[in-house]
Structures are given as structure tokens and as C-alpha cells.
Amino acid sequence: MTHRLCGICKKEITGPSLDFPQLCVVCGHGFMEMIRAVAELSIEMASAYGLNPLKEGRNSLPGVPIEEIEIRMELNRLKKSRADTS
């Protein structure tokens, strides 16, 4: 039997996340919270420019792909916090 490792903390997955089976429950929960925060931020940014992202799509949003930056920052924070608790 092969042991799967979490894609963030690299520990063995004893109980997978329901939303992200490649992550453990703890990292999956943290990742989902971060995705929600990024979505809320994106909607706020679009509103600041007078855009409706649900109607106009994300291609009409100005600036850098903030979602990707936020996701990478959050993954790094999660990796560091898991390493600090080990």
C-alpha cells in the first residue's frame, strides 16, 4: 500500500480533505479559507473599478493576477506554519 503525502505539509495523509483529496484535512481547510478570501478580494477589486466579474469576466479586471499571487503567498505561509509546528 502506498502512502500519499499532503501537497502542502508533505506529511502522510491519514484523512484526506473532502474538497482537495491531495491535501490533508488541516491544509485542505486552510486552502479553502484562502480561496474564499481571494474570491472576496477579487469581487471587491472589481467593484472598485465599477465592474461586475460575474457578467464581464475576469479578463476585464486590470492589474496583475492577484489570485495567483495570493494563492502562492498562502501556500508558503501554510508550509512555514506546518514546519514550525513540527
Longest Cα separation, the chain:
54
Burial class (CB in 10 A: 0-12, 13-18, 19+), 47: exposed
Of 78, 84, 80, nearest to 25 by C-alpha is 78
Which whole-number Å values give the CA distances from 21 to 15, 16, 49, 65, 73, in the listed order? Answer: 9, 5, 36, 26, 21
- What is the number of other CB atoms lying within 10 angstroms of the CB of residue 79? 14
In this model, does residue 1 exceed pLDDT 80?
Answer: no
When the pLDDT of each residue in the chain is averaged and rounded to a whole number, the result is: 78
Percent of the chain with pLDDT over 90: 13
Q: Give the predicted TM-score (pTM) of the model.
A: 0.57
